[in-house]
Amino acid sequence: MTNINPDDFIAPRCDEEIEILFQDEHILLINKPTKLLSLSGKNPANLDSVHYRIRQIFPTALMIHRLDLGTSGIMVIALNKDISRLLNRQFSERQVNKTYTALLAGQLEQSHGKIELAIAKGEFPYQKICSDTGKAALTEYQCLGHEVFSHDSNKHKISRVQLKPHTGRTHQLRIHSQQLGHSIIGCDLYPNSNDCPDGNTELMANRLMLHATRLEFNHPISGERILATCDCPF
């Protein structure tokens, strides 16, 4: 992908529906489909989003966190301002644990490990690794197994991994996976030429193979520890 003006970016159309996994009078847990914005953009063509759709049903709903356009999976949404404040505090104090499943190009040699590389804002839409200007970023990974991935009659050796970000930097899991030497399949921004055809993992799948599978937090009213899960679609 070439650099573009963020105001010129048009998100692809998403016909998949948002699945509500749980709801009470305080929160929603949803399954966000891939290729749907978390928040509407400034460009009128980017009106469709999780926030826009949910507000049609729950007018007081407020977004607490985001998932990248291509990332699918579990999100928590507050149903009023007080709940939003309580949940935002948990995120800012790192009381929320997030787990993702990803398919990475190539075969990881290490069964588990940590990636600790600072991330800075690059030229849109990119982020970059930079120890001088970047913010601290830490990702824990565990290899769940090696597989063969088929796409367009081609077979590729891949790794299924569990990713646990301890920080929430933009594109953190994508760029940390690239730095590990194994880009996420379907990623158009941070490819790795050794593990994918023509140096572009976007060619290996029709979506980003990254899914938020688990979210752990305290219920903002009861205080009960919630372990919410969302099955991986790939």
> What residues are labeled active site?
68
Alpha-carbon distance values, 151 to 117, 191, 197, 201 (Å): 32, 17, 11, 11
Residues in CB range of 132: below 8 A, 6 or more apart:
none
**Positive/negative CA dihedral, 160, 69, 53, 228:** positive
Asked if residue 215 lies in contact with residue 209, where contact means CB atoms within 8 angstroms, the answer is no
Q: How far is the C-alpha of 181 from the C-alpha of 109, rounded, in Å? A: 11
Residue 145: how many CB atoms within 10 A of its CB? 11
| SS3 of residue 113 by DSSP | strand
What CA–CA distance (Å, rounded) separates 100 from 115?
Answer: 15
Beta bridge partners of 188: none
Structure tokens given for 137? 């970023």
Do residues 232 and 211 touch, judged by C-beta distance below 8 A?
yes
**In contact, 181 and 192? CB cutoff 8 Å:** yes
